[in-house]
Amino acid sequence: MKFLDEVNRAAQERGVPEMPKYNGDAHEFFKTWVTRDHGYFDMVASYWQRRHQNNLLLVHYADLKSDLEGEIRRIADYLDIGLTDEQFAEVTSRCTFEYMREHPEMVGEFEGFEGGIKGFLFKGQNDRWKDVLTAAELATYEDQLNEMLSPDAAAWIKKGRKAFTAVGKLTPTLPI
Amino acid sequence: MSRWVADEAELALRSEKLVPIRFDDIESPIGFRQIQTIDFVGWNGRADHTAMQSLIRAVTERQGGQAPSTSSPPKVQPEDPLDIGTVAPERPSIAILPFKSLGADPDQEFLADGIRFGISATLVQLSGLFLVHATTLNAYRETEVSAVSVGTDLGVQYVLEGAVQQSGKNLRATIQLTEVKTNHTLWAERYERVVEDVFNLQVDIMDQELFDSLVPFTHAVADYSRWKAFTPHDDDIFVCTPAKCGTTWTQTICCNLIRPDGDLPAPVSELSPWIEAVFTPEEEMHEALRKQTTRRVLKSHSQAESIPWYESAKYIFVVRDGRDVFMSMVNLSDA
């Protein structure tokens, strides 16, 4: 059974709204997604507010893509896990997106998803939206971003850690 | 009342285990006046007395058990459907304020309460939403306070307000839902009906739009009550993300850091379950988690306010550009 069917069957039983299905019209789907009901912006805002807490680390997908070993070392440091360089290299080799897709025995089968793990870990590519979303839709996204998040948080969402090094803003207040 | 007793009572109140009783006809101490107190004034010392039966029932309920049945059920105060307990801050919560009755006729107040109770009964069935104690809210009856200040006082995310006016056979109701954090009116509607149609009015009020405003669609997959059976370990790691932001990636990294030799006893998806996901068998999940002796990695797609925050645990929040998340959701939601 596909993931969404299973989720929505459970939602029906519990009497809560179902997750919207994608019907082939990305623009229609975007209207649903971009509303705050979806929870993306709320969730970012809620953790961003707590960024100064000692037991919270912020990680960005773009940083995992551009500097996997660097991010793995940063996570290890935060978790108080000390490894040798060799071990870090081994862990990194098992945690590339490509390795994970090829190793369901390590990550999971994700049988509920179309295509299993290769459907769940689909492309791992960023910027695919550039060919899909219209200028008006991107403006709506910007509006939501600016309404829900501080300029620092919005910049971080867009660029990860680069947002701060690029403008020389590696401030001690940003534990990222 | 000594400070220690007050502290103990406060602790009991917060863990929803407080049952106040009184032996003398006195005012409750400040801070505890909003909780229903069982009246032992005039107790005859017998176990089948109304007061003793109420106490036994209250204690049993707070232990999560079934109250023992009695041969002749004691007469108790009518149950208030809003009377569910105090606020559990880790869950999304709502306060439904007493609806204002715009008119001097006391029957109209009855009508306003009836509509409010009808709505609340439906809302109770929504898992994830926590309703605030009705006796707490009665303090706000007929007062002019803003939804935001009430909501802030009570520590709830949402406040639902309403006003009902009857004029002859005509009934008018206005209902408004406010999000406390942002002071946004998420939803507002005015209804005009004839009095006989009051039950359909309740159904109409609970329409899809209000429902959707209250229940973000992540609730389709998340049931926050699942955190109740969760027992934390001091060194737990929580990977918290919006969906499709690198959750599995980060879980895989953490699991491999814990076991750098790569010898994972089970796939990451099993080792590191999504706590509030409705489709994981709950008992099995908690059982498997109890058996994990090495450092654990847990997954959540909830806001920070909706999950417990353990001081000794480590939380990792992973995010991705929203536009990339959208593209990934398209793939996930493709029927």
Label residue B129 by pLDDT band (50, 70, 90).
low
| Residues of chain A with C-beta less than 8 angstroms from the C-beta of B322 | 40-41, 141, 144-145, 157
Same domain for B50 and B140, yes or no, is no
CB pair distance less than 8 Å for B240 and A58 = no
Residue B129 forms contact with A (CB below 8 Å) = no
Same domain for B224 and B326, yes or no, is yes
- Alpha carbons B235 and B295: distance in angstroms, whole number: 6
| Residues of chain B with C-beta less than 8 angstroms from the C-beta of A157 | 319, 321-322
ipTM: 0.91
Is residue B97 classed as helix, strand or coil in its secondary structure? Answer: coil
- Average pLDDT of chain B is 74
Same domain for B197 and B252, yes or no, is no
Residue A167 contacts residue A174 (beta carbons within 8 Å): no
Say which residue, A113 or B71, is predicted with more confidence. A113
Query: Quick check: is B197 in a domain?
Result: yes
pLDDT score recorded for residue B151: 87
CB pair distance less than 8 Å for A59 and B319 = yes
Query: Quick check: is B67 in a domain?
Result: no
Residue A149 forms contact with B (CB below 8 Å) = no
CATH of the domain at B157: 3.40.50.10070
CB pair distance less than 8 Å for B320 and A59 = no
Query: Quick check: is B137 in a domain?
Result: yes
pLDDT score recorded for residue B68: 43
- Closest Cβ–Cβ partner in B128, B221, B257 for A7: B221
Same domain for B211 and B97, yes or no, is yes
- Average pLDDT of chain A is 83
From chain B residues 67-96, the ones with a CB under 8 A of any chain A CB are none
Same domain for B211 and B256, yes or no, is no
Fill in the DSSP letter of residue B193: E
Same domain for B243 and B325, yes or no, is yes
CB pair distance less than 8 Å for A108 and B269 = yes
| Residues of chain A with C-beta less than 8 angstroms from the C-beta of B320 | 60-62, 126
Same domain for B285 and B263, yes or no, is yes
Query: Quick check: is B78 in a domain?
Result: no
- Alpha carbons B233 and B308: distance in angstroms, whole number: 13
pLDDT score recorded for residue A73: 96
Q: Domain end: B189, B215, B241, which one?
A: B215
Q: Which residues, other chains included, contact B130 with Cβ-Cβ below 8 Å and sequence gap of 6+?
A: B84, B85, B87, B88, B91, B92, B93, B94, B156
| Domains of chain A (ranges, CATH numbers) | 35-166 (3.40.50.300)
- Alpha carbons A105 and B101: distance in angstroms, whole number: 63
Residue A135 half-sphere exposure, CB side, CA atoms within 13 Å?
0
Backbone angles phi, psi at A122, to 5 degrees: -75, -65
Residue B300 forms contact with A (CB below 8 Å) = no
Same domain for B261 and B194, yes or no, is no
Whether A131 shows a pLDDT value over 70: the answer reads yes
pLDDT score recorded for residue B81: 37
Query: Quick check: is B87 in a domain?
Result: no
Whether B12 shows a pLDDT value over 80: the answer reads no
Same domain for B127 and B240, yes or no, is no
Which of A82-91, B109-118, B149-158 is most confident? A82-91
Q: Which domain holds residue B208?
A: 93-215
Label residue B3 by pLDDT band (50, 70, 90).
very low
Whether B322 shows a pLDDT value over 50: the answer reads yes
Strand partners, B274: B299
CB pair distance less than 8 Å for A46 and B301 = no
CB pair distance less than 8 Å for B316 and A158 = no
Query: Quick check: is B207 in a domain?
Result: yes
In the block, tokens 């429902």 appear at B211
pLDDT score recorded for residue B9: 61
pLDDT score recorded for residue B185: 83
How far CA A11 is from CA of A7, A95, B218, in Å, comes to: 6, 33, 10
- Closest Cβ–Cβ partner in A39, A100, A105 for B218: A39
Same domain for B23 and B54, yes or no, is yes
How many structural domains compose chain B? 3
From chain B residues 230-289, the ones with a CB under 8 A of any chain A CB are 237, 240-242, 245-246, 248-250, 252-254, 256-258, 260, 262, 264, 267-270, 278-279
Q: Domain end: B165, B197, B215, which one?
A: B215
CB pair distance less than 8 Å for B217 and A90 = no
Label residue B13 by pLDDT band (50, 70, 90).
low
| Residues of chain A with C-beta less than 8 angstroms from the C-beta of B240 | 47
Same domain for B191 and B284, yes or no, is no
Whether A133 shows a pLDDT value over 80: the answer reads yes
Residue B166 contacts residue B201 (beta carbons within 8 Å): no
Label residue B72 by pLDDT band (50, 70, 90).
very low
Q: What is the mean pLDDT of residues B271-288?
A: 88
Q: How close, in Å, is residue A167 to chain B by CA atoms?
A: 19
Q: Kindly state the percentage of chain B with pLDDT values over 90.
A: 21
Query: Quick check: is B81 in a domain?
Result: no
pLDDT score recorded for residue A176: 43
Residue B125 forms contact with A (CB below 8 Å) = yes
Q: Which residues, other chains included, contact A76 with Cβ-Cβ below 8 Å and sequence gap of 6+?
A: A82, A83, A88, B257
Q: Domain end: B173, B193, B215, which one?
A: B215
Which amino acid makes up residue A51? R
Say which residue, A140 or B64, is predicted with more confidence. A140
pLDDT in tens, B147-179: 888 888 888 888 888 888 888 888 888 888 888
Say which residue, B93 or A133, is predicted with more confidence. A133
Q: How close, in Å, is residue B254 to chain A by CA atoms?
A: 8
pLDDT in tens, A49-78: 888 889 999 999 999 999 999 999 999 999
pLDDT score recorded for residue B74: 37
| Residues of chain A with C-beta less than 8 angstroms from the C-beta of B265 | none
Label residue B88 by pLDDT band (50, 70, 90).
very low
pLDDT score recorded for residue A136: 94
- B164: enclosing H helix or E strand: strand B158-167
pLDDT score recorded for residue A76: 97
Same domain for B236 and B327, yes or no, is yes
